[in-house]
Amino acid sequence: MTVQTQRRASQWKRTASRCSLATFAVGIGLGIGTVGGQAAAWADTGHAGSSTTSSSQSQASGPGKAADGHDSHRGSGLATARRSTIRPDSTASQRNSPRPASASAVAVPISAPAPGTEASATSTRAVATTARKTTASAALAVTVTSPTTPTPPAPLSPIAKLIALPGHIVNTVLQSLDLTAAVGGPQSPLDFAPFDNLIFAVFRRIEHAVGLDATPTTQPVPPTLTYTGPTTALTPTVAQFLNAAAAEYVLGGVPGGLQPFTVNGVPVTSTNILSGERAQVWVTPQNQIIIAYQGTTGGTNLLFNPLIAISQIITDLQVLYTHTTPQAFVDALAFAQRVQADAALQGYSASDIFVTGHSLGGWEAEYVAQQTGLDGIGFESPGINTIVARNGADSGFVNIETYGDPAAYFATDLPGLQPFMPSYEPAGGSKPHYGPIVMIGDPNAVAPLFNASALYGYGPIGDLIFMVDTLGNFFEHHLPGMQAYNLDVDPDPTVVPWLGLPMGPVETGYGALTISQLLQAASDAGQLIAP
């Protein structure tokens, strides 16, 4: 057999193994989605290439806070946890989001300075060995009001309320079954947390027995960024972004304290079953708009729209296994542009509009931010195929990633899943994130992923260990409730609140921070990574 033939055989074997993993992941994704939709109505807002849906969402009050311990593990459901946070002035109009500044050979700016100041973020090298509990109160800055006030959202029309009613009713039932949760919702008499804790305790024991939790002998450390920009740029808070992203998994879910952005009394939403794109638009009490894109399967939305999960999983696989841009990303961009046009007619400026999402939704938010310059926060999103200079290190879009969640490491700028993923390249590669990366959770949680990945490609047993450990860590770290725990956010709403294993410190006060304040706090804690 020639060398070329041997190489082709090796490549075919690797491709077949990856496809087997992908097929298994599709089955698991569909299965978890069925236990994890918004109420659907139909009203065209002019989004070309996709059918736009609208749904009525009742306004919910913001989450209340109470003191809570900062243990590394928690034995009860996330929906019952309450932590004290620092709240910025809720009456201030949160605008003037961070903008890029010029780069130099020694500085890596993240956001533009306020008049008369300079902003830069210097690329450095740092070794993360243990998680640190940080306090973000120092990052809170004096708020600034804007003389321009957009028109508040119009009340929902009677027909919009009627169309949304079934989703709200179903969600109330799901809350009573402990499948969804919200701060103001009914408390379920059921508690699946003990079973969840038992399952992951067994999983961790197996990892230890196999040696997957051992500290890797050689593990690359991504370069960090040092943020030196202003913290006065006003944006929605981390909690508002996360709850808007999590609401995309909850049928009839409403982010705490937010209300739907409407046109003629109809909520502006977008759904394309063929491409897998789904989004809703929310308005904060500070009159700022958040476009929230839906993650894979849509959680309990599967009850009303199960077919979209197939398109969403295909979209996931397309980004991972090719270098192309899926139609869902294109639809997400078109919808964002439509929202900008609708918002402008109601007095909103471009700086009043932000994007967010979790998992696939964060992927789409990344792409939209890259193509439009909109600011925002994406949660647990992988790297993308479209690459720009410096990968948005100086942009106002931030990725929040959890140590140990495989979705975060489906990229080339975070080491952890090689050789399954293309080669790791510090601050780059073929599938980098767009925008600076804030790491949360326990850095030691990466060890099992790193060790299991080293077994990939060395026969069926190694591939099986890699597959099982990757999926186990996915369910352990990926869902929005895990990010809510580490970010000191009351999940409002959330899906399957008991699924996962909280690890690492609670970053006190992070939920109340704006984008620039988050960058400052993460930089001070050594958690800010270059994309």
Q: Is the Cβ–Cβ distance between 382 and 361 less than 8 Å?
A: no
**How confident is the prediction for the chain on average, in pLDDT?**
81
pLDDT score of 249 more than 70: yes
Nearest to 437 by CA among 357, 374, 382: 382
- Asked if residue 248 has pLDDT above 80, the reply is yes
Task: Measure the CA–CA gap between 397 and 283, rounded to whole angstroms.
Answer: 18
For residues 47 and 30, give the distance between their C-alpha atoms in angstroms, rounded to a whole number. Answer: 28
| Distance from C-alpha of 371 to C-alpha of 336, rounded to nearest angstrom | 10
Here the tokens at position 120 are 């830069």
Of 19-28, 224-233, 349-358, 391-400, give the lowest mean pLDDT range: 19-28
Q: Is the pLDDT of residue 36 over 90?
A: no
| Position 226 confidence tier, pLDDT thresholds 50, 70, 90 | very high
What mean pLDDT comes out for the span 319-328?
96
Q: pLDDT digits over 426-479, tens only?
A: 989 999 999 999 999 999 999 999 999 999 999 999 999 999 999 999 999 999
pLDDT of residue 489: 98
393 pLDDT tier (thresholds 50, 70, 90) = very high
Instruction: Note the pLDDT tens digit of each residue in 500-518.
Output: 999 999 999 999 999 999 9
Q: Summarize the confidence of residues 198-222 as an average pLDDT.
A: 94
User: How is 365-393 classified by DSSP, letter by letter?
Assistant: HHHHHHHH--EEEEES----S---GGGGT
Nearest-CA neighbor of 65 among 441, 488, 487, 496? 488
Q: How far apart are the C-alpha atoms of 395 and 7, rounded to whole Å?
A: 41
Question: At 285, is the pLDDT very low, low, confident or very high (cuts 50, 70, 90)?
Answer: very high
| pLDDT above 50 for 47 | no
Cα-Cα-Cα-Cα dihedral sign, residues 180, 184, 188, 194: positive
- CA atoms of 156 and 341, how far apart (whole Å): 20
217 — pLDDT class (breaks 50, 70, 90): confident
Percent of the chain clearing pLDDT 90 (strictly above): 70
pLDDT at site 148: 64
pLDDT value of residue 377: 99
Sequence-distant (6+) residues with CB within 8 A of 308 are 271, 273, 276, 278, 298, 301
> Does residue 71 carry a pLDDT above 80?
no
pLDDT tens digits, one per residue of 18-28: 544 444 444 44
Spatial CA neighbour of 441 closest among 334, 527, 362: 527
* Tens of pLDDT, residues 130-161: 333 444 444 444 343 444 689 888 899 999 99
String of DSSP letters for 385-436: S---GGGGTTSSEEEEEETT-GGGGSSSSS-SSTTTSSPP-TT-SSS--SS-
Residue 426's pLDDT is 93
Note whether 121 and 223 are within 8 A (CB). Answer: no
List the single range of 75-79, 193-197, 260-264, 362-366 with lowest mean pLDDT.
Answer: 75-79
Condensed to tens digits (0 to 9), the pLDDT of residues 86-109 reads 333 333 344 454 544 333 333 333
For residue 94, the tally of other CB atoms under 10 A from its CB is 28
* pLDDT on residue 115: 36
pLDDT at residue 258, as a whole number: 98
Place of tokens 């490491």: 409
What's the average model confidence in pLDDT over 265-284?
Answer: 98
User: What would the mean pLDDT of 27-36 be, rounded to a whole number?
Assistant: 41
Q: Give CA–CA dist 204/223, Å, rounded.
A: 29
pLDDT score of 4 more than 90: no
Q: Residue holding tokens 């990052």? A: 139
Average pLDDT over residues 359-381: 98
CA distances from 524 to 142, 376, 431 (A): 19, 20, 27
Give the pLDDT confidence score for residue 240 in this predicted structure: 99
* pLDDT of the residue at 149: 80
What tokens appear for 20 in the block?
Answer: 């087997």
Where is average pLDDT lowest: 114-123, 216-225, 324-333, 346-355? 114-123
